Structure 1
Amino acid sequence: MDMAAHPSPSAFPAPVTAYRTRWAALAQEAAEANAFYAPDMLGAALDHLAGDAAVHLLEARGDDGLIGLLPVVTRTRHGRLPIGCVSNWIHDHCFFGAPMIRRGRELAAWRDFMTQLDAAPWARGFLHLEALDAAGANAAAIEALCVEQRRGRREIHRYDRAMLRSDLDADSYWESQVRSKKRKELRRLQKRLAELGVVEQRLLTDPADLPLWCDAFLALEASGWKGAAGSALACKAGDSAFFRAACAAAIAARRLHFLRLDLDGRPIAMLVNFRHGEGGFSFKIAIDEALGRFSPGVLIEIANLHAVQGDPEIGWMDSCAAADHPMIDSLWAERRTIVQYRIALHGRGRVRLQRSAAFALANAAERLAQIVKGQG
């Protein structure tokens, strides 16, 4: 099912509720965890971040009902190339792009997604998929589908980012994975910080406290370099509304993992994680930069390590960090390989020719750029 581009939130409160009910059931059986496409975060993003973007919600169906959900958008450019394409919807606050697919129905769902895209008059060029796990269920299904249908597929980028996945308890993990010199330095910073006042680590447990925690996080993030650069959540009304709505929906669904480090009752570091299934996704961190000499960001990550490893419902956590992130890479030893794919779209007649040409042109431009870079 290809639903129309997403209209304004006020246009259809009832249908959205119905859609999210279906998505919630699908999310419980998902082959690959993705908090960003779970109904709480996706719904908040649709309500507050879609703007003028034509977000198409592809629902894959089988004889057993809804088996997949993939939000996509059309783009007029592909990187630096003036070539239109379709892409999974990765907004500014989305760090993983695996669609919701019922476990065991991955290939069938991707068949349906591609059938819909092949037939869609608005689907230009090719399908560009971002932020997938190279070892995940979706990547495997995409590869199998492209072989089955003789459909062009090209991996265009990959990188590794930090991940926490270990059966060790927090103390054992800390001792085995972090250099002794760094552990010693952090213990010194913790001692020095404690000399300034009462230091307390807190985990949000009461939903009634959420509005105040959101206020504190938004203010703390905006007080630093992100606020000065205009990239803090509080700098845009839509971003802050998305954050509040996503947190509210997630805590109601028991998916929110919100930490803070206080000094004499005021937050000096805060960390927001969103959960889905047995997995967690580290979303945003905010620190008091005036206390930067005490490394509050690292100290709250230590608290996060203990909270995650001490929670039997969290099996792993994706840092959602950039490649080669100096802070989290030094604390978490595991890695997750994130990939992008370019996938050919089929069709009929002239449309198929245009799509084939766009796919070939993008591949040729990429090969040429690699050659030029190699010669340089």
Structure 2
Amino acid sequence: MVLAISIDSTPAHVEAASGRVVDAPPIDLASPWPRAVERVPDIRRTRIYEAHAAFDLIDELEFLTRRSVESNVFFAPRFLVPAMPRLDERTIRLMVASDEGEGRSRLRFLMPFSVEGTGRFGGRPVLRAWTHPFGRLGTLPLDRDDPTETAASLFAAMREPELALPDVLVLPDLALDGEMAQVMLRAAATHGLSVAVSDRSERAVLDATGAPAAFLRDALGAKRLRDHRRRLRRLAAVGPVAFEVAASPDETLTAFEEFLTLEVSGWKGRGRSALIDDRHRVAFAREAVHGLSAQGRVRIYTLRVALQPVASLVVLVSEGQAVAWKTAFDETHRNAGPGSLVTALASEAMIADPAIERVDSCAMPDHRVVNRLWHGRMALGTLVIGLGADAGRRVEQVSRDLQRHRQRLQRRRLLRRRVAQLFGWS
């Protein structure tokens, strides 16, 4: 059954597939059209669909991502649609808000979500926006036309009893200084909703608006720049060194297959965590790269020695914002540091690329290579929003549960790193 919440400037109603109508609190939404025009006002509808409905929303979502308050390639349809059925065993559904009227419809917001507990042993469920290890940024597509009012109407819709949703909303992996997080905070404050910020961290970003020729000198300094050149000479002693940028669809598809081969040849292959080791994940990755490359949204930077790839960096681009999505290198050349070399050379290329203004490293906060090279930082966190006036205690409890869960994951990551170092896997 599809549930639809219709919200307009008159008292709102909740419509179920059965045709039943129940009263809901009114919400003040100003009509976007001049009153002199004889036109029925658009109705804001919030619906919940099964995940496969995303296939029918590709064109609308494409339009929304270009109008979003903040760009995020991980929610572009060419990435999101192949990801949803392949990357998660949880039940993922779609919350969609649109303005409809007189034969037209405009998508205003989309959020894949799950309903799950946050405690170690489950506990009371929350409404959690979907993120995953292959898309480590949770910024959702939200129309930039009056986004605060859209967010407020979403909070009202989520409280409707017909939807039977939990009373706490969790928005993970947000850029806290980004426009989407700020919109959500403003809307919550306006309506007196309890908010907490959990899982705070930061990671490296590259400002790609400077001068390419000056980047390495300024980022590395004289001593590290000499070391960078020394390592290139070490590779050159093996064979001719070349750096390539794949941007066209044919080039990127070939370069991506080389990346997959590099990745499985290293520690991820030994640990059975390379993309190609899982048929669902590699199918998603190939489809996403293929779809995005057809729109000019993929760059793959490859460092070669004697014509053979020794390092690769896959970058995805959306509306000037890029993410360093995947990287791999040939461990037989470990002493020359091919991974850091390709990142440095790619940084120059991205600064020279007019389609790229900023690059999110998507790296862990303690990533040594990228932190030394990219000096910008992005603050990240999880917003926990109580959807009811009496949800304050629940918000605090969920925030604590999330923080404890993050700490457990960090301890496991450090343990895996130590084991990998002990057995020479990294």
- Do they superpose with TM above 0.5? yes
Q: Contact 2:118 / 2:402 at 8 angstroms: preserved in 1?
A: no
Residue 124 of structure 1, CA deviation: 2.6
Asked if 1:289 corresponds to 2:331, the answer is yes
Paired position in structure 2 for 1:98? 139
Q: 1:58 aligns with which of 91, 95, 118?
A: 95
Amino acid at match of 1:185: D
Asked if 1:141 corresponds to 2:179, the answer is no
Q: Deviations over 1:54-110 (max 9, x none)?
A: 222122224682211121112233467634212111122011101111223321231
Secondary structure class of the residue paired with 1:213: helix
Q: Contact 1:67 / 1:105 at 8 angstroms: preserved in 2?
A: no
CA distance in structure 2 between the partners assigned to 1:198 and 1:358 by the alignment: 61
Q: Contact 1:131 / 1:338 at 8 angstroms: preserved in 2?
A: yes
Residue 249 of structure 1, CA deviation: 0.6
Paired position in structure 2 for 1:218? 260
Amino acid at match of 1:22: E
Secondary structure class of the residue paired with 2:144: coil
Question: What is the count of residue pairs matched by the alignment?
Answer: 355
Paired position in structure 2 for 1:22? 60
Q: Summarize the Cα distance change of 1:215–1:137 in structure 2 as closer, same or farther, 3 Å threshold.
A: same
Residue 128 of structure 1, CA deviation: 1.2
Paired position in structure 1 for 2:398? 362
Amino acid at match of 1:128: V
Asked if 1:337 corresponds to 2:379, the answer is yes
Paired position in structure 2 for 1:2? 47
Asked if 1:43 corresponds to 2:85, the answer is no
Paired position in structure 2 for 1:89? 130
Higher mean C-alpha displacement, 209-218 vs 331-340: 209-218
Q: Contact 1:62 / 1:108 at 8 angstroms: preserved in 2?
A: no
Q: Contact 2:301 / 2:346 at 8 angstroms: preserved in 1?
A: yes
CA distance in structure 1 between the partners assigned to 2:154 and 2:311 by the alignment: 42
Q: Contact 2:94 / 2:113 at 8 angstroms: preserved in 1?
A: yes
Secondary structure class of the residue paired with 2:165: coil
Paired position in structure 2 for 1:107? 148
Q: Contact 1:107 / 1:141 at 8 angstroms: preserved in 2?
A: yes
CA distance in structure 2 between the partners assigned to 1:365 and 1:312 by the alignment: 43
Q: Summarize the Cα distance change of 1:227–1:143 in structure 2 as closer, same or farther, 3 Å threshold.
A: same
Q: Deviations over 1:217-264 (max 9, x none)?
A: 112111111122222111211111111011001001111111111112
CA distance in structure 2 between the partners assigned to 1:23 and 1:367 by the alignment: 32
Q: Supply the RMSD in Å over aligned alpha carbons.
A: 2.4
Q: 1:267 aligns with which of 309, 319, 331?
A: 309
Q: Summarize the Cα distance change of 1:362–1:174 in structure 2 as closer, same or farther, 3 Å threshold.
A: same
Matches for 1:295-334 after TM superposition, within 5 Å: 295-334=337-376
CA distance in structure 2 between the partners assigned to 1:342 and 1:293 by the alignment: 45
Amino acid at match of 1:41: F
Residue 16 of structure 1, CA deviation: 4.4
CA distance in structure 2 between the partners assigned to 1:24 and 1:154 by the alignment: 31
CA distance in structure 1 between the partners assigned to 2:80 and 2:107 by the alignment: 17
Amino acid at match of 2:68: A
Secondary structure class of the residue paired with 1:150: coil
Asked if 1:249 corresponds to 2:286, the answer is no
Q: Summarize the Cα distance change of 1:210–1:310 in structure 2 as closer, same or farther, 3 Å threshold.
A: closer
Larger Rg over CA atoms: 2
Q: Which has the higher contact order (CA 8 A, sep 6+)?
A: 1
Q: Contact 1:40 / 1:250 at 8 angstroms: preserved in 2?
A: yes
TM-score, structure 1 normalization: 0.87
CA distance in structure 2 between the partners assigned to 1:367 and 1:159 by the alignment: 11
Paired position in structure 1 for 2:70? 32
Q: Deviations over 1:264-305 (max 9, x none)?
A: 222111111111101101101011111111100111012211
Paired position in structure 2 for 1:72? 113
Paired position in structure 1 for 2:209? 167
Residue 163 of structure 1, CA deviation: 0.6
Unaligned runs of 5+ in 2: 1-45, 406-426
Amino acid at match of 2:81: G
Aligned-pair identity in percent equals: 23
Q: Contact 2:82 / 2:288 at 8 angstroms: preserved in 1?
A: yes
CA distance in structure 2 between the partners assigned to 1:259 and 1:326 by the alignment: 20
Secondary structure class of the residue paired with 1:359: helix
Residue 361 of structure 1, CA deviation: 3.5
Q: Deviations over 1:157-207 (max 9, x none)?
A: 211111111532122122122132111111101011011111111111342
Q: Contact 1:2 / 1:56 at 8 angstroms: preserved in 2?
A: no
Secondary structure class of the residue paired with 2:75: coil
Q: Summarize the Cα distance change of 1:324–1:366 in structure 2 as closer, same or farther, 3 Å threshold.
A: closer
Q: Deviations over 1:282-338 (max 9, x none)?
A: 101011111111100111012211211111111111111111211101001111111
CA distance in structure 1 between the partners assigned to 2:307 and 2:269 by the alignment: 23
Secondary structure class of the residue paired with 1:323: coil
Matches for 1:222-233 after TM superposition, within 5 Å: 222-233=264-275
